Structure 1
Amino acid sequence: MTFIDLFAGIGGFRKGMEAHGHKCVLSCEIDNSARKSYSAIHYNDPGKAERYEEFPNDVTKLVDKNQLPEQFDVLCAGFPCQPFSRAGRREGFSNDRSGNLFFSVMDIINHSEPKKVFLENVKGLLTSGIIEEPTDVDPEAKIKPKYIEVDKGLTFKIILEFLDKHGYDAQWQLINSAHFIAHKRERVYIVATKRKETFEQIFPIHVEKETINTKKLSYTKILNNPKYNFISKESFQFKFNAEYELIDSKTKKPFVFSKTTPWKNFGMMIGGKILTAKVKHNPEIIHKLSDYLQSNDEIDSKFILSKEEEEKQRYAKSAKTWEKSGNKMGNMAFPDSIEKPSRTLTANSSGREMMVIAYKDKFRKLTPLEYYKLQGFTEEDYEKAIKAGVSEGQIKKQSGNAVTVSTIKAIAKRF
């Protein structure tokens, strides 16, 4: 199948899709450093890698500038996650800059009507609501008022509503990259397909896929099938009414979005009827960080912590309670174990988030190459990016923002 790669980063979607013979016909990425890496990694022509400015950089203008291919089968997009992440302000679609970029994806879907839509985002997408700003704010106050998140889960409801209105059935699952590589990274993966009489069930990813006859759809039968004994009783069934209210199939009343999201870590929407349930999905194999590390004699001294840095890391990872807010943070391991998967790599892996491992009688940070490998990229990919002039700092940042290649491979294999 042909696909377009939006918010392409360094090409996690592309590598995973191409591993199964799918062909990329358009890439779009706004960050110049990521564009350099992307071009270097994915274009075999060395000259073309230097001409990274040639491919589009603005998702919001692809339709108006007529930059989309006439036809493509799959739209891939790891759209900006910050508005839905607990690491940010959780503004969801109310974030004018990043959150609203998803509506540009919707415009492209509406314009091109691809057969499949393949999306990735942080787990917070399932719980993201609306930030309610206090109205009686004293501008002279030293302590700023708390912003309250309301209508939790409404963001995801809007996504499902759009897809249903445009004739798509959808399925999703929260998947940890640790199933496939030594990296704990939970992300929501959504696959939507143009509606027809059969529904190809891709999720849950850990069971044999099957085809569902949409005319004989029964979520109750699915839940009661012994094959799906890993699905807990913690489930909801909904359907959209004419006004696109979410009607609870048990109570026959509209679901009220308040402090609790209805969305579980797995779900399907077929013909506007929705099943969402909690599934148990533990990695069958423990992938070890040690298998992805460079040898000790390859480690540059700049990655080894000084005594001062070591003490800062010990403090950063210790348990603490903040006096003003009362917020608490638990104790984190120091150093990190290399016999388990790494913690989630982030775009700003410093302070408390920094991975620290033992190194001889000292401690060290992970190298940029190790970051790349933990996201499913290769040493060759890393060397290409370095040769293209991408800094090590940018490589770490790009890795923290990337989609894990290994997970995309596992999903794309089922298309």
Structure 2
Amino acid sequence: MKFKFRTIDLCAGIGGIRKGFEMTGCYKNIMSAEIDMFARLTYEHLYGETPCYDLTSDMFKNALQKEKYEVLLAGFPCQTFSRAGKGEGFSNKTKGTIFWHIADIIKKTHPKGIFLENVDNLVRHDKGNTIRIIINTLERELNYKVIGVKIGDDGKPLYEGKDFIRNSRNFGVPQNRPRTYIMAFNRNKYSVKKLAALSNELPQGNKLNLYTDLNDLLEFKAPAEYYLSSGYFETLKKHRIREKGKGNGFGYKVVNAKGIEHPIANTIMATGGSGKERNLVYDPQPGIAGKLIPTKMTPLNSEGIRLMTPREWGKLQGFIGYAFKTGGKDNFSFPAGVSKCQQYKQFGNSVTIPVIKTLADFMTNCFRTLGEDL
């Protein structure tokens, strides 16, 4: 039986990072923290554990100091670093300070390795100042070797922001989803010579090919509830015309429109909103056009345009059709009572598991290079 490194799962969401690491067979999670009550329900349903801890609390930090673990995992909040947010960064007094709590946990518990995930805009936020603070904190204050960073003659970290960004579309799923990934190893645990032997570049992709393209992933002839009403679709059309007149590229998009040879989805988002409107699907079927359903103010549109379903979002993130698939059977499900709105949110807020699995394999190989028996 393989020895398993113990992990803690911070800002756990519905456990996408945890799942990617556990799929390697080399990691076993011992403690999780998540504050969203609906995400907690799904997490408990999937893993049989309730991540009912707040990582900012002294109680949680004190409990961690009594536990033995090797790898810290955290998909810390994106909102304050995202282009779609207010751009507050570390000035936000709640979400923007989560990184500092993670840094405090690292300082107090000294894990051998760290894996962090965030939006791609993290490396550009505040003209690069945000990522500079994060890298300096890890490298110079906490004494961790960050993959993708070199140390200059003056002792300062040297890096390119793009070296931390990887895109889900290169990891076996048809979704254009660039994200920032930070991996680091404890210099107090490993020699300079061994750390110098590590590859200093995260994997650019993998050979996994779950779907040929988006049309291979979509489940056509979806239920009527997912089709846009004619009134709402007209509103989207007018909005796109207005934005185009302003010289903007904003507006809805039919991602598998005729003429697109190998369609891929745009980034799905935790807020739903534009994540849905930028991922409309052409899926005509008899009996849809003009149909009246109770939840919509106007009849369904006549062009066969619908939203993607939560299941399709789950497939884009690798929860459905990949991570929970055993013996040819897909075992992913939500617990009873989790609304479709929450399902969209939870998938959009999570990670693409095939990306995480690839990076976890890379991290495992790094630990082997460092002399660990994994």
Tell me the TM-score normalised to structure 2 length: 0.74
Say whether 1:292 aligns with 2:217: yes
- Give the Å deviation of 1:289: 1.2
- For residues 348-388 of structure 1, the C-alpha deviation after alignment (integer angstroms, 9 at most, x for no partner) is 22258522111115111011111111111026699764333
After TM superposition, the structure 1 stretch with the greater mean CA deviation from structure 2, 64-73 or 97-106, is: 64-73
Matched pairs, number:
304
Cross-structure match for 2:256:
337
Instruction: Work out the CA distance in 1 between the residues paired with 2:24 and 2:275.
Output: 38
Distance 1:32 1:115 in 2: 30
Cα distance, 1:157 vs. partner?
Answer: 1.3
Task: State the match for 1:372 in structure 2.
Answer: 314
186-195 or 346-355, which deviates more:
346-355
Instruction: Establish whether residue 390 from structure 1 lines up as the match of residue 338 from structure 2.
Output: yes
SS of structure 2 residue aligned to 1:344: coil
Matching residue of 1:88 = 85
Q: Would the aligned equivalents of 1:4 and 1:72 in 2 still touch at CA under 8 Å? A: yes
Asked if 1:61 is matched to 2:47, the reply is no
The answer to whether the aligner puts 1:175 opposite 2:146 as a matched pair is no
| Cα distance change of structure 1 residues 409 and 318 upon mapping to structure 2, 3 Å threshold | farther
Once the two structures are TM-superposed, the CA of residue 107 in structure 1 deviates from its matched residue by 0.7
Q: Distance in 2 between matches of 1:288 and 1:108?
A: 41
1:31 aligns with 2:36: yes
* Distance (Å, rounded) in 2 between the aligned partners of 1:405 and 1:109: 24
Whole-angstrom CA distance in 1 between matches of 2:133 and 2:275: 34
Distance 2:304 2:60 in 1: 55
How many Å apart are 1:39 and its aligned residue?
Answer: 1.1
2:312 and 2:175 mapped to 1: Cα distance? 11
Cα distance change on mapping 1:363 and 1:207 into 2, 3 Å: closer
Which region of structure 1 is more displaced relative to structure 2, 157-166 or 12-21? 157-166
1:10 equivalent in alignment to 2:14? yes
Paired with 2:307 and 2:62, the residues of 1 have a C-alpha distance of 45
Report which stretch shifted further, 55-64 or 159-168: 55-64
Q: Given the superposition, is the C-alpha separation of residues 183 and 90 from structure 1 closer, same or farther in structure 2, using an over 3 Å criterion?
A: same
SS at match of 2:63: coil
Q: For residues 154 and 124 of structure 1, what CA distance do their matches in structure 2 show?
A: 12
Distance 1:411 1:202 in 2: 13
Take 2:274 and 2:182, find their aligned partners in 1: how far apart are those partners? 32
Task: Rate the CA distance shift 1:336–1:79 in 2: closer, same or farther, 3 A.
Answer: same
Q: Please, which moves more after superposition, 397-406 or 312-321?
A: 312-321
For the residues of structure 1 that align with 2:7 and 2:318, how far apart are their CA atoms?
Answer: 20
Q: 1:334 to 1:109 in 2, by over 3 A?
A: closer
> What is the aligned partner in structure 2 of residue 320 from structure 1?
243
Structure 2 Cα separation of the partners of residues 337 and 313 of structure 1:
17
Distance 1:87 1:293 in 2: 26
**Separation in 2, partners of 1:122, 1:386:** 25
Q: Give the partner amino acid of 1:372.
A: G
Match of 2:283 in 1: 359
1:209-228 superposed matches below 5 A: none
CA deviations on 1:43-98 (whole Å, 9 max, x unpaired) are: 2xxxx6xxx3xx33311015666232521111011111111111111111111111
Moved more, 357-366 or 60-69: 60-69
Letter of the aligned partner of 2:314 in structure 1? Y
Change (3 A) 1:306 1:203: same
Match of 2:161 in 1: none
Partner of 2:76: 79
TM-score, normalised to structure 1, is 0.67
Q: How does 1:191-230 map to 2 (within 5 A)?
A: 191-195=183-187, 196-197=191-192, 198-199=194-195, 200-201=198-199, 203-206=201-204
Q: What SS does structure 2 have at the residue aligned with 1:118?
A: strand
SS at match of 2:30: strand
Q: Does residue 20 of the first structure (1) align with residue 24 of the second (2)?
A: yes
| Secondary structure of the structure 1 residue equivalent to 2:125 | coil
Change (3 A) 1:318 1:77: farther
1:293, distance to aligned residue in structure 2 (A): 1.5
On the 8 A contact 1:346/1:400 being kept in 2, the answer is yes
Write the distance in 1 (CA, Å) between the matches of 2:266 and 2:101. 32
Q: Distance in 1 between matches of 2:170 and 2:203?
A: 10
Letter in 2 for 1:4: I
Question: What letter is aligned with 1:309?
Answer: Y
CA contact (8 A) 1:60 1:104 kept: yes
Contact 2:168 2:176 survives alignment (8 Å)? yes
Determine which structure has the larger helix proportion and give its number. 2
What CA distance in whole angstroms lies between the structure 2 residues aligned with 1:192 and 1:316? 44
Q: Aligned in 2, Cα 1:328/1:358: closer, same or farther, shift over 3 Å?
A: same
Q: 1:332 to 1:286 in 2, by over 3 A?
A: farther
CA deviations on 1:251-276 (whole Å, 9 max, x unpaired) are: xxxxxxxxxxxxxxxxxxxxxxxxxx
Displacement, 1:331?
A: 5.6
Q: CA RMSD in A?
A: 2.7
- Structure 1 stretches of 4+ moved >3 Å: 62-65, 283-287, 316-319, 331-334, 379-388
Tell me by how many angstroms 1:41 deviates: 1.4
| 1:292 to partner: Cα distance | 1.8
Per the alignment, in what secondary structure is the counterpart of residue 407 of structure 1? helix
Describe the shift of the 1:36–1:285 C-alpha distance in structure 2 as closer, same or farther (beyond 3 A): closer
The structural deviation recorded for 1:328 is: 4.5
The answer for unaligned runs of 5 or more in structure 1 is 130-151, 209-282
Percent identity reads: 35
SS at structure 2 position matched to 1:394: helix
